[in-house]
Structure 1
Amino acid sequence: MNNKSKVLIVDDDRNICELIGLYLQKEGFEVLYAYNGLNAVETFKMQTPSLVVLDIMLPGIDGWQVCREIRKVSSIPIIMLTAKGETFDKVLGLELGADDYMVKPFEPKELVARIKAVLRRYEHKDVDTQEVVFPNLIVNKSNYTIRLKGNLIELPPKELELLFFLASNPNKVFTREQLLEHVWGFDFYGDSRTVDVHVKRVREKIDLEGQPWQLKTVWGVGYKFEVK
């Protein structure tokens, strides 16, 4: 693990932020602070931290929404640190994409240990795992699994690879020819209708209703994985 990793601490209690920051700085981390939800999202987009420690009860938008906003664009680790200790809250946090969940009051040394552990898992995943994470959706290309709302969905390899490629490039439009090149490879001698058939099959198996992401047709061009 790189001890120069950048950690964003999001909490409206400045004393808690400073306490966590002191412990992390002693371990060689660079520390960023945000004291409300909107500032957290802005700081995340501008500074691209390696990990976020996130409170739930925040001024402006709450931690749940901050987590959703981050998961729209990134799979970087998030540790929820909050006074909300009910099982429902923990489950919701993990379903939204949090990697760990700690309840206040907390022991700073334990939090630092968890930060290190989560970063180790994440960095190991970057090497060995190809995975994209969005709200209610995880597509893992290393073990060819898809989870939708926590449930495993069965897709044939090429359908999964097509979804993985598009989801890895959110909001970017690809022509059918580009998708043939990237997903099937130069050695695939087929026509563009192959892409249409595979997109249709993915849509039939993945429930898109009400999701903040969609597999969209861009008429006259191709397809994109649209994230709202």
Structure 2
Amino acid sequence: MTDILIVEDEAAIQQLLVDYLQQAGYKVKAVKRGDDALECIRESAPDLVLLDVMLPGIDGLEVCRQVREFSHVPIVFLTARHDEIDRIVGLRLGADDYIVKPFSPREVVARVDAMLRRSRWYSELAEKGESTGLHINNRDYQAFWGDQLLDLTPVEFRLLSALHAHPGRVYRRDELINIAYDDHRIVSDRTVDSHIKNLRQKLHAAGAGDIIQAVYGVGYRYLL
């Protein structure tokens, strides 16, 4: 049975998530503190973690940072709508997705299902010795297509890292602006389009093909 760890200190939200995920067939454990979450992840190695940002003990961002030192378990942040900076920082620390409060519990289950499908798909490729081609090293700000190091600017790397972390998800241009620039500067949609254009050219030159797809009137997504 697939194990889900919920890290949420609000009792009502925690119980709601437990109930819905158990009904969906998952084995669920829930804790309220960040330090307890770290201990559980080290000891029981869950298949996915739903992680609130604001926690007693150690906050969710620090939990994510420490977990990424020893585990690749999928992490989905639960964050308040006004905590936009937390969502951006969380993705850079290695979170795989985020869900904004207030949320529909059915949406949470659907997102968990999708994340676990992707995780199993990647695991199966690894067992077969196959590769999706693109490899991201967030610690050193490096991206590789196969064995070839891509010559990316910091902005291009941040865009590629975010898109690659969520294959198939459509990122709006305003979301990509927030990911690309952490100083809240005012930039236009055309600036993002220009960065994506350069990024696609570099990927294509490395033999990657058209793995970043434009979604007309919305933004961009990464294709597996």
TM over 0.5: yes
1:5-34 CA distance string (max 9 Å, x none): 100000111211111000011111000011
Letter in 2 for 1:145: H
Out of 91, 94, 101, the residue aligned to residue 94 of structure 1 is 91
> Would the alpha carbon gap of residues 144 and 78 (structure 1) be closer, same or farther in structure 2, given more than 3 Å must change?
closer
TM-score (norm. length: structure 2): 0.59
Aligned pairs (5 A) from 1:154-169: 157=147
Shift of 1:88: 2.3
Structure 1 gaps of 5+ residues are 131-139, 160-228
Is it true that 1:66 corresponds to 2:71 in the alignment? no
CA distance in 1, matches of 2:52, 2:62: 11
Equivalent of residue 143 in structure 1, options 120, 126, 133? 133
CA RMSD of aligned residues (A): 2.6
After superposition, the Cα gap between the structure-2 partners of 1:30 and 1:121, relative to the gap in structure 1 and judged at 3 Å, is: same
Task: Give distance in 2, aligned partners of 1:69 and 1:8.
Answer: 16
Q: Which amino acid aligns with 1:43?
A: C
The 3 A distance-change label for structure 1 pair 71 and 149 is closer
Q: Aligned-pair distance for 1:70?
A: 1.2
Change (3 A) 1:150 1:117: farther
Q: What secondary structure, in the 3-state scheme, does the structure 2 residue paired with 1:49 have?
A: coil
Q: Which runs of 5+ in 2 are unaligned?
A: 150-224
Based on CA coordinates, which of the two structures has the bigger radius of gyration?
A: 1
What is the CA distance between 1:101 and its match in structure 2? Answer: 0.5
Distance 2:110 2:146 in 1: 39
Q: 1:46–1:145: structure 2 CA closer, same or farther, 3 Å change rule?
A: closer
Q: Which runs of 4+ in 1 moved over 3 A?
A: 84-87, 144-159
Contact kept? 1:20, 1:108, Cα under 8 Å = yes
CA offsets, 1:113-169, max 9 Å, x none? 000000000110111248xxxxxxxxx96526343458444699499xxxxxxxxxx
Using the aligned pairs only, state the percent identity: 40
Residue 37 of structure 2 aligns with which residue?
Answer: 40
Q: Using the TM superposition, give the Cα deviation of residue 63 of structure 1 relative to its aligned residue in structure 2, in angstroms.
A: 0.2
Deviations 1:143-196 (A, max 9, x none): 26343458444699499xxxxxxxxxxxxxxxxxxxxxxxxxxxxxxxxxxxxx
Q: Which amino acid aligns with 2:102?
A: P
Contact 1:12 1:36 in 2 (8 A): yes
